[in-house]
Amino acid sequence: MRSDSAGQHISGAERIVREHEVPAVCAALSERALAHPKGMAENTFITVEALAESDILHVPSVGVKEEAVQSPSQARDVIEELLRPMTAYSQVVIEGTFTARNMRGAMLIAADTGKRCEPDAQRGVRVSHMDAYGATEEEFKGKDAAREAIVLASKVAAHPDVLAEVCVSDDPAYTTGYVCIDDTYHRLPHIKEPGSDEGARAFMIKPGADIEALIDYLENRAVLVDFEAEQ
Ligand code: WAQ
Ligand code: MG
């Protein structure tokens, strides 16, 4: 599902479900587009695609670590420390993530140059075709944003050409973000001030990566994230 108003992206979400669940899931996603904190969507697009079991790649869930962060500036320090061993451009990644607005997808930033490498810099690259597998409702009760973020981060982290991900929610009230690096999802409370319209994602990309193949994986490869195989 994706939705927009006056040309601005409002929300998007993706699920992989059994055939009999399709109508209920479509209803839930359409409701969600209308109830988004960024505003009611004028246009909602829902696409349903058939998948064979054999099309689906299973990847392990990343591990989750809660970081003791009290403020946005402290969150930036933690991000900087985590990224520094992998790139000389950690500040570019951080500035990019805190400055971008209303992107549908994520920025791809090359670790060796700090340059963007996706074809449409305003849209970014939208990770799609993923869901959780074997996750109990208990694990995620009332935490849809975290559930979806861990699923997305696990699909992204499973690709060898992604070195790290930084994420700030675009929901003005949702002030927890994360950095995912080396298969660990570092949860960062207070990554932004409440009410802020900041919100974006950046993936830091390995030098020499085949960008076209990476984008095809992120957008189109069906992936179920296995929570029973958490690392
Ligand atoms: N693929 C790529 N980028 C995306 C996608 C996607 N499927 N969905 C969102 N983005 C980008 C887009 O630029 C958004 O503006 C930005 O990420 C934030 O998206 O453990 O809710 O959906 O509690 O607002 C973090 C949870 C929640 C932390 C993140 O992101 C926790 C969240 P949002
Ligand atoms: Mg959001």
Tens digit of each residue's pLDDT (9 = 90 or more) over 84-139: 999 999 999 999 999 999 888 999 999 999 999 999 999 999 999 999 997 666 55
pLDDT computed for residue 139 by the predictor:
58
pLDDT computed for residue 165 by the predictor:
98
The whole-angstrom separation of Cα 215 and Cα 159 is 11
Give the ligand 1 atom nearest the CA of 13: 7
- Residue 103 Cβ inside 6 Å of ligand 1? The answer reads yes
Give the ligand 1 atom nearest the CA of 127: 1
Proximal ligand: closest to the CA of 152: 1
Of 17-21, 159-163, 179-183, the least confident: 17-21
pLDDT computed for residue 135 by the predictor:
67
- Residue 16 Cβ inside 6 Å of ligand 1? The answer reads no
Q: Is 63 exposed, middle or buried (0-12, 13-18, 19+ CB in 10 A)?
A: middle
- In the chain, which ranges are continuous DSSP H helix? 22-34, 72-83, 90-99, 137-140, 144-157, 211-220
Angle at 69 between CA 67 and CA 70, to 5 degrees: 155
Which residues neighbour ligand 2 (ion) by CB within 5 Å?
A: 170-171
**pLDDT(190) > 60:** yes
Say how many Å lie between the CA of residue 107 and the centre of ligand 1: 12
Query: Atom 5 (ligand 1): residue with closest C-alpha?
Result: 105
> pLDDT band for position 39 (50/70/90)?
confident
Does the predicted TM-score (pTM) go above 0.85? yes
pLDDT computed for residue 155 by the predictor:
98
Q: Is residue 116 helix, strand or coil?
A: strand
